[in-house]
Amino acid sequence: MSAATVRNPAVRRLADWSAERLRALADDHGTPLYVLDLDRVRQNYRRMADAFPEAEVYYAAKANTARPVLRALADEGAGIECASAGELARVLDAREAQCASDARAGRDDPRAGVAGSRVHYTAVNPPDRDLDVAVRLADDHPGLTITVGAADTLDRLAERGYDGRICLRVNPGVGAGHHEKVATGADAKFGVPYDRAADLAEDATARFEVVGLHAHAGSGISGEDLSAHRELVSRMGDLAREVESQDVELEFVDVGGGFGVPYRPDEDPLDLDAVAAATREALGEVDATLAVEPGRYLVADAGVLLTAVNTVKEAGDGAVVGVGAGMTTLARPALYDAHHEMRNVSADAERRPDREVTVAGPVCESADTFGDHWLADPERGDLLAIGNSGAYGYEMANQYNSRPRPASVVLDGDDVRVARRRETIADVTAVEPEDQA
């Protein structure tokens, strides 16, 4: 095992986090609290870039849009893939009027300052207001690529006077992922039908600069799903060769991301080098450059969620442990039945016997549970750490039950910075007109 491998292991387990440092962060910033380690994000990106040395790596920003994350990855050389106008506004220079409004309101500039040529906008059935923003930003940032998944969207862009860079999203008919709700590759919602894609790409050259093809199998793809990933890539290689034969000069073929991470301690990490080799082989010879869009893989194990125990209730042969975090803080367990490993990081936890308990949040829903976990016997006031929370954690946090969203901090070596302050009830109600009070 090389020194680089030791410094940059393929997965960071929950047990690798310093309990002492997590307790200090909770003391300083309160709970629930998202913690994200930028050094780990950088390590994950470098591993991905090393595995795909001849490919373009675009970070799927929807996994975690915290400004320090976007800036760190952009500094490492990553492009950014955006799924909405809001994400575009985070990474590009937003409208001057909006910036001035933010300054007057005392809000920090949320932009990451990424060049337009390093940004892809990949929307699904984009609302009119999103397209308006995308076209305006494309005018201000030459090189921005807009990915289109329907012929209607091409027409809507043309109606707005857009004639710039287009990537065509294709539905390859192959889906995979950790849950049926995220197996996008076989879902008709995503992309133009595979058998119509070549003709649509050729026709689009009359109105736009067609620069790429895109497909995505799904999210959280693991070893058992890799055959579907290879099939998707193979189909995209065949399509690229057909499109290139029609004198369409493609810059890239984007085969998406979805690279999975192990959420359970007994699961092995993804063999990224093997995946990269299989991807290159499946794509075959094309003139275009391969592009990949990792999201979860770069940030999941870089983050934990800290929450305090507020209730321990004996129930039959077991116990229900109530915590401050819930489905409004981390939605994945309620939405996907997702497992997130837990650890009691209280000062004396190691001296206690382990006990299987049900961990539940404060929302009045049966779905508001983190499932059953073996923990050092929990007591009221204990601090629990929830692993692999860096991806789709804060991004899916919401205000259901009028609950303010949690704070988020980033670690950069020894430095700690607040990425998002803790919301207050006043923040929750701020959008409501005062005359309705």
pLDDT, residue 180, reads 47
6 part of a folded domain: no
271 and 314, same structural domain?
A: no
269 and 152, same structural domain?
A: yes
Identify the domain containing residue 138 by its residue range.
38-300
CATH code, domain carrying 349: 2.40.37.10
Residue 385, pLDDT > 90, answer yes
- 40 or 183: which carries more pLDDT confidence? 40
Domain edge (last residue) among 276, 300, 324: 300
Count of residues in the chain:
437
Q: What is the mean pLDDT of the chain?
A: 89
190 part of a folded domain: yes
User: What's the pLDDT tens digit per position in 227-237?
Assistant: 778 888 999 99
74 and 177, same structural domain?
A: yes
CATH code, domain carrying 205: 3.20.20.10
210 part of a folded domain: yes
Q: Give binding residues for substrate as ranges.
A: 296, 332, 336, 365, 392
Kindly indicate the confidence band of residue 355, based on its pLDDT and cuts at 50, 70 and 90: very high
pLDDT, residue 217, reads 72
285 and 322, same structural domain?
A: no
Residue 7, pLDDT > 60, answer no
Kindly indicate the confidence band of residue 95, based on its pLDDT and cuts at 50, 70 and 90: very low
Residue 97, pLDDT > 70, answer no
Cα 54 to Cα 27, 226, 237, 261, distances in angstroms: 45, 21, 16, 23
Residue 58, pLDDT > 70, answer yes
pTM assigned to the model: 0.90
Kindly indicate the confidence band of residue 145, based on its pLDDT and cuts at 50, 70 and 90: very high
10 part of a folded domain: no
User: What's the pLDDT tens digit per position in 176-188?
Assistant: 444 343 444 455 7
Domain edge (last residue) among 269, 284, 300: 300
186 and 271, same structural domain?
A: yes
Q: Give binding residues for pyridoxal 5'-phosphate as ranges.
A: 258, 293-296, 392
149 and 275, same structural domain?
A: yes
Angstrom distance (rounded) from CA 313 to CA 415: 38
User: What's the pLDDT tens digit per position in 288-310?
Assistant: 999 999 999 999 999 999 999 99
Number of domains in the chain: 2
237 and 123, same structural domain?
A: yes
Kindly indicate the confidence band of residue 173, based on its pLDDT and cuts at 50, 70 and 90: confident
pLDDT, residue 436, reads 66
33 part of a folded domain: no
251 and 230, same structural domain?
A: yes
User: Among the options 82, 99, 167, 364, which is catalytic?
Assistant: 364
251 part of a folded domain: yes
30 part of a folded domain: no
Residue 76, pLDDT > 60, answer yes
290 and 393, same structural domain?
A: no
Q: Which phi and psi (to 5°) does residue 325 adopt?
A: -80, 155
Helix (H) or strand (E) holding 211: strand 209-214
Q: Give binding residues as ranges.
A: 258, 293-296, 332, 336, 365, 392
Kindly indicate the confidence band of residue 205, based on its pLDDT and cuts at 50, 70 and 90: very high
Cα 174 to Cα 177, 258, 382, distances in angstroms: 11, 13, 45
User: What's the pLDDT tens digit per position in 255-269?
Assistant: 998 888 999 999 989
Domain edge (last residue) among 278, 300, 322: 300
pLDDT, residue 185, reads 41
pLDDT, residue 222, reads 59
DSSP letter for each residue of 260-329: ----STTSPPP-HHHHHHHHHHHH-S-SSEEEEE-SHHHHGGGEEEEEEEEEEEEETTEEEEEES--TTT
Question: Are the C-beta atoms of residues 395 and 65 closer than 8 Å to each other?
Answer: yes
Question: Are the C-beta atoms of residues 80 and 59 closer than 8 Å to each other?
Answer: yes
Burial class of 102 by CB neighbour count within 10 A (0 to 12, 13 to 18, 19+): middle
Residues of the chain above pLDDT 70, percent: 88
Question: Are the C-beta atoms of residues 30 and 407 closer than 8 Å to each other?
Answer: yes
pLDDT, residue 187, reads 58
331 and 276, same structural domain?
A: no
130 and 237, same structural domain?
A: yes
321 part of a folded domain: yes
Q: 167 an active-site residue?
A: no
pLDDT, residue 342, reads 98
**Amino acid at residue number 38:** L
pLDDT, residue 105, reads 47
241 and 210, same structural domain?
A: yes
- SS3 for 431? coil
